[in-house]
């Protein structure tokens, strides 16, 4: 009797161990196959927010991590927390090693949503004799944007002091006092406008600077998730269709990520990007190729 009971207990114990091992393997397998992507509340990336809030991503391997600083994309990837990110080509080019990254699909071209703001007019900045403090996110397109602005406006003779500043910190700046320049973008630039800063230049004006936003993913993750990548593009397009057809409902879903933007303010920023998810993208592919961004994985 005791032997029978011992055998039963042994069998039950072994079964529980095997079940536990199986669950552990399954859980690990599910974790391993996730493709984690960092993103921020830039207007062009809000379709991902909408899709996430609607639950459309739950049956896909894609999980989004929401950040503020553009430079956080590199830090998260280098620490092994993510396999992809949404950003401009300039964020990619600032990576120490971006050889494994590929743009998977293009999202938008900034056509005024990225701005250079100041508490002085451009004519006043040109005449400035004192050092101008510049607040921007180092290691991001902000640097490239500022350089293009200085070059096109022939401001190279002015003295600038650059400070690495997050967008959260930027919105706390005051327009009072010495001349400053702030590099920002929607939705954060909305708060700066309310404080009294003025736009002195934007991506709608600069002729030598093109900003393309895309989903970038480590090609090793892409190879393992080719079908899912195409499905994510379909989900993105579906979410963008919701913006166009049901803008008020769309706003209600995503507004918690928009740093206090009103419906009208948000809709205004949607007019400051050119959506690239549909249509001929050959021009933009050529532009990326010219910047040594490999585009062999692009889908439409």
- How many whole angstroms separate alpha carbon 119 and alpha carbon 261? 21
> Which pLDDT belongs to residue 32?
53
As a whole number of Å, the end-to-end CA separation of the chain is 70
> Which pLDDT belongs to residue 18?
43
- How many whole angstroms separate alpha carbon 15 and alpha carbon 29? 21
- How many whole angstroms separate alpha carbon 154 and alpha carbon 117? 17
Residue ranges and CATH numbers for the domains of the chain are 30-111+211-290 (3.40.190.10), 114-202 (3.40.190.100)
Residues linked to residue 85 through DSSP beta bridges, in sequence order? 38, 216
Closest CA to 160 of 184, 192, 128, 138: 128
> Which pLDDT belongs to residue 34?
85
> Which pLDDT belongs to residue 224?
60
CB environment 219-243: b (16+ within 10 A), e (fewer): bebbeebeebbebbbebbbebbebb
3-class SS of residue 154: coil
Beta strands in the chain (DSSP E): 35-39, 62-66, 84-88, 101-110, 114-118, 132-136, 160-164, 180-185, 198-202, 212-218, 273-275
Q: Mean pLDDT per 10-residue run, the chain (300 residues)?
A: 47 46 39 82 97 96 90 88 94 89 95 97 95 95 96 96 95 95 95 97 95 94 78 97 98 96 97 93 94 91
- How many whole angstroms separate alpha carbon 91 and alpha carbon 70? 7
Closest CA to 107 of 291, 288, 292, 289: 288
User: DSSP secondary structure string, 64-80?
Assistant: EEE-S-TTHHHHHHHTT
> What phi and psi values does residue 202 have, to the nearest 5 degrees?
-155, 175
Structural contact between residues 70 and 165, judged by C-beta atoms closer than 8 angstroms: no
Residues 6+ apart with CB under 8 A from 126: 153, 155, 158
């Amino acid at each position: 009797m005791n032997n029978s009971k011992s055998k039963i207990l042994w069998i039950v114990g072994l079964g529980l161990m095997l079940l536990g091992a199986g669950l552990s393997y399954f859980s690990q397998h599910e974790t391993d196959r996730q493709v984690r992507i960092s993103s921020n509340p830039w207007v062009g990336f809000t379709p991902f927010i909408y899709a996430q809030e609607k639950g459309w991503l739950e049956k896909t391997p894609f999980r989004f991590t929401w950040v503020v600083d553009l430079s956080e994309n590199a830090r998260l990837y280098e620490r092994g927390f993510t396999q992809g990110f949404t950003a401009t080509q300039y964020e990619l080019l600032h990576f120490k090693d971006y050889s494994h990254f590929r743009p998977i699909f293009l999202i938008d071209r900034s056509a005024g949503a990225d701005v250079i703001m100041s508490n002085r007019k451009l004519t006043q900045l040109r005449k400035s004799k004192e050092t101008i403090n510049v607040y921007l996110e180092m290691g991001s397109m902000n640097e490239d944007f500022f350089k293009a602005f200085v070059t096109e406006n022939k401001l190279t003779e002015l003295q600038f002091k650059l400070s690495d500043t997050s967008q959260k910190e930027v919105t706390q700046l005051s327009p009072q006092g010495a001349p400053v320049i702030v590099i920002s973008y929607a939705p954060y630039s909305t708060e700066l406008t309310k404080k009294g800063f003025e736009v002195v230049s934007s991506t709608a004006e600069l002729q030598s600077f093109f900003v393309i936003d895309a989903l970038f993913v480590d090609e090793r993750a892409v190879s393992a998730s080719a079908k899912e990548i195409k499905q994510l593009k379909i989900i993105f397009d579906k979410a963008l269709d919701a913006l166009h057809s049901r803008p008020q409902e769309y706003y209600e879903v995503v507004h918690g990520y928009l740093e206090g933007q009103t419906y009208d303010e948000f809709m205004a920023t949607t007019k400051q990007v050119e959506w690239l998810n549909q249509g001929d993208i050959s021009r933009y592919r050529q532009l990326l190729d010219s910047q040594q961004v490999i585009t062999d994985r692009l889908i439409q």
